Amino acid sequence: MMKAYLKAISYYLPPQGLGNEKINEMFPEWSADKISSKTGIYNRYIADETTFSSDLGVYAAKKLFAEHQISPGEIDYILFCTQSPDYFLPTTACLVQERLGIPISAGALDFNLGCSGYIYGLSLAKGLISSGDASNVLLITAETYSKFIHPRDKSNRTIFGDAASATLISATEGLAEIGKTVVGTDGSGAENLIVKRGGMRFPKDTDEKVSVDEYGNSRNENYLLMNGSEIFNFTSEMVPGLVDNTISKNQLTKDEVDLFVFHQANKFMLNHLRKKISIPEEKFFYFLQHCGNTVSSTIPIALYHAIKENKFLGNVLLAGFGVGYSWGATVLTVTK
């Protein structure tokens, strides 16, 4: 069976920053220091009203091509992970193919996943390459969650930022071989992280009735609703087993994992998981302080910086978890 390799990663952040000082101006009861101490986030980037997921994805892919001397003509499959597509149809990946000048012989599809999306994308790309159906897969993650957040929802506004990443997965040897993947799904948690209105089942509510929760966050079913305590409980219960199963499936021991890169949800959750799983701090990578929780892009952004900091060595375990509920993990074995 043909092996699949991660060859290169780049990412793109919109130019407009939203720092904690600005959020403090919007919500005076939340100081900048309080926000950073609770979340580990100091800044996040927000797409403007004319910029959408396809735009972010195209910018990220163009950076990938430029930084790593990749020709669009080499790409024979596009996987585009987003929960904030430009349209219901056509597929955003089709728009991206045309804008990037990728050959019309390439396959292109969207898949709708959040914080586990990058892991699923690596698994799908590996499957395409292992089967011989593709040789060079462009995996793009792109989200504009800020467009889902109510202007007066201070909790979600402090956490989420917009971003896109682009990764080349190839049949030819690259940075790291993609190992075996463990995934899981529990749709019973769907209501705990949801944009309820705007699809076919529940059209957008033009009345926009707003309620205020016990923490002072404005809530409306047209916008992102997150039950933070339930998401925390799910993550705390599921991720330790996910890590153990992934290590076992890849025939490793925990000591043989050199770096752990988790979905960068928030600093509190990451610290809780690190301690619960007994991961040494020097083996656990953080990168969310400058861009926040960018959903499916957090892992590739963190990987990009781990590579830059020469921490991308040996066996690297990736784990994503969140909306769905959905979770997944894999191991990258560094070859260069």
Out of 20, 43, 115, 291, pick the active-site residue: 115
Q: Quick check: is 305 catalytic?
A: no
Please name the residue that has the structure tokens 């467009």: 147
Between 298-308 and 117-130, two packed helices, what is the crossing angle to 10 degrees?
80
Residue 221: closest CA among 274, 279, 148: 148
Q: Quick check: is 150 catalytic?
A: no
Long-range contact set of residues 265-271: C-beta below 8 Å, sequence gap at least 24: 265/115, 265/159, 265/235, 265/293, 265/298, 265/322, 266/38, 266/39, 266/40, 266/41, 266/159, 266/293, 267/39, 267/40, 267/41, 268/38, 268/39, 268/40, 269/232, 269/235, 270/40
Q: Is 172 helix (H, G, I), strand (E, B) or coil?
A: coil
Q: Do the Cβ atoms of 158 and 19 come closer than 8 Å?
A: no
Out of 156, 220, 250, 293, pick the active-site residue: 293
Q: Which residues pair with 111 in a beta bridge?
A: 81
Q: Quick check: is 293 catalytic?
A: yes
What's the CA gap between 328 and 203, in Å, rounded? 31
N residues, the chain: 336
Q: Which amino acid is at 71?
A: S
Residue 330 exposed, middle or buried by CB count within 10 Å (0-12, 13-18, 19+) = buried
Q: Which residues pair with 188 in a beta bridge?
A: none
Out of 263, 266, 291, 315, pick the active-site residue: 263
Q: Do the Cβ atoms of 120 and 111 come closer than 8 Å?
A: yes
Q: Do the Cβ atoms of 79 and 121 come closer than 8 Å?
A: yes
Which residues contact residue 271 at a Cβ distance below 8 angstroms, ignoring those fewer than 6 apart?
none
- Residues annotated as part of the active site: 115, 263, 293
